[in-house]
């Protein structure tokens, strides 16, 4: 076995939390018997602040620094794909893990195509298949209504993207080695380079990190009620999310969208307001610990997953709930 290669991501100069989740997936595979160690590679223009201590569980951290990989390896795809392909050739891992982030969801399949191997997207589990000695992955299928376990054909490198929020990040400090991998030849022929990234301003807690999420759907009837959701989210130190129907209607930006084609979240409390609970929405909630639903339709699908539910008009329920929270908050 040649080991596990994680394509980590860098945020504000350091290895990001989503990479720690990939490390948890890799550590699980090692516990099950995958040999060869765990390598975590990061890409960027200036990786001088990246240390091995930021990667608990990794045997080595590999820095690939090059101007073509600026924007911390999270923007543009040609150069990162060429860099990962070169690293793959050098260390021949058994499996390459990406996070299913905006970057990994696009770069992962491109790397697989470049290597001529299969890719499994949006995996929620990885496990050593004792019969084949290769890694098998679990993916939600049919809009999240069932789970499929997939083997990879052949004996080449496997590529998988892992859904954020399904593995608890490895905590603590890493004690692996750190090394630099020169990608200047690999990226020399790159045809497209990202010249600018425009980061959308947002205040407060990120949806992906929020412990409390107040989420609105088409049942809200328009954009204005999202202010009430924001007020409650602020009182609880949480974030506001939305269904795709609310985003498609233009009531809130698509960055609020939770679900199959939106974000995966893992709050302790997910309060859904006027959301039916379609399977594509629920697909983003597999990590939510307690779903609380306000919906006027007692047959709404959301109630099948809700721990607590209020059958009623949100316009009556929500203001009373918010007032109570405000009183309790003092």
Ligand X SMILES: Cc1cc2nc3c(=O)[nH]c(=O)nc-3n(C[C@H](O)[C@H](O)[C@H](O)COP(=O)(O)OP(=O)(O)OC[C@H]3O[C@@H](n4cnc5c(N)ncnc54)[C@H](O)[C@@H]3O)c2cc1C
Give residues in contact with ligand X (CB under 6 A). 217-219, 243-246, 257-262, 274-276, 278, 280-281, 294-297, 300, 313-315
Question: What is the smallest separation between the CB atom of 42 and ligand X, expressed in angstroms?
Answer: 29
Bridge partners, residue 141, by sequence: 146
CB of 251 to ligand X, least distance (A): 10
Nearest distance in Å: CB 227, ligand X:
16
Nearer to ligand X, 46 or 313 (CB): 313
Element (H, E) at 122: strand 119-123
Torsion of CA 244, 248, 254, 258, to 10 degrees: 0
Q: Which of 203, 298 has the CB closer to ligand X?
A: 298
- Least distance to ligand X, CB of residue 216, Å: 8
Would you say 193 or 311 has its CB closer to ligand X?
311
Of the two residues 155 and 297, which places its CB atom closer to ligand X in the complex?
297
Neighbour-count burial of 294, counting CB atoms closer than 10 A to its CB (0-12 exposed, 13-18 middle, 19+ buried): buried
The phi, psi pair for 134, rounded to 5°, reads -115, 170
CA distances to 41, 139, 162, 316 from 135, in Å: 20, 13, 13, 51
Residue 226 beta carbon to ligand X: minimum distance, rounded to whole angstroms: 12
CA distance 266 to 18: 13
> Based on CB atoms, which residue is closest to ligand X, 162 or 275?
275
| Beta bridge partners of residue 178, listed in sequence order | 61
């Amino acid at each position: 076995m040649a080991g596990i290669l994680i394509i980590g991501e860098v945020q504000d100069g350091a290895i990001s939390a989503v990479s720690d989740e990939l490390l948890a997936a890799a550590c699980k595979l090692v516990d099950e018997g995958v040999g060869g160690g765990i390598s975590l590679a990061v890409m960027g223009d200036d990786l001088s602040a990246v240390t091995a201590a930021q990667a608990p569980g990794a045997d080595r951290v590999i820095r690939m620094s090059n101007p073509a990989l600026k924007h911390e390896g999270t923007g543009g795809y040609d150069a990162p794909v060429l860099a990962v392909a070169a690293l793959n050739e050098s260390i021949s891992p058994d499996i390459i893990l990406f996070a299913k982030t905006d970057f990994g969801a696009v770069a992962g399949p491109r790397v697989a195509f470049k290597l001529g191997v299969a890719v499994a997207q949006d995996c929620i589990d990885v496990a050593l298949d004792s019969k084949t000695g290769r890694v098998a992955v679990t993916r939600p299928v049919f809009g999240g209504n069932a789970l499929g376990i997939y083997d990879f054909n052949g004996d080449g490198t496997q590529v998988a993207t892992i859904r954020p929020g399904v593995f608890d990040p490895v905590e603590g400090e890493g004690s692996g080695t750190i090394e630099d991998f020169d990608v200047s030849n690999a990226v020399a022929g790159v045809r497209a380079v990202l010249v600018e990234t425009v980061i959308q301003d947002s205040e407060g807690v990120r949806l992906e990190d929020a412990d409390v999420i107040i989420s609105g759907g088409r049942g809200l009837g328009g954009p204005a009620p999202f202010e009430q959701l924001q007020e409650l989210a602020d009182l609880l130190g949480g974030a506001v999310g939305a269904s795709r129907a609310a985003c498609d209607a233009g009531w809130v930006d698509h960055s609020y969208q939770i679900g199959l084609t939106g974000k995966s979240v893992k709050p302790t409390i997910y309060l859904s307001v006027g959301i039916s609970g379609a399977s594509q929405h629920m697909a983003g909630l597999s990590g939510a610990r307690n779903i609380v639903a306000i919906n006027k339709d007692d047959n709404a699908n959301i109630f099948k997953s809700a721990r607590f539910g209020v059958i009623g008009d949100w316009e009556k329920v929500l203001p009373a709930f918010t007032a109570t929270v405000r009183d309790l908050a003092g």
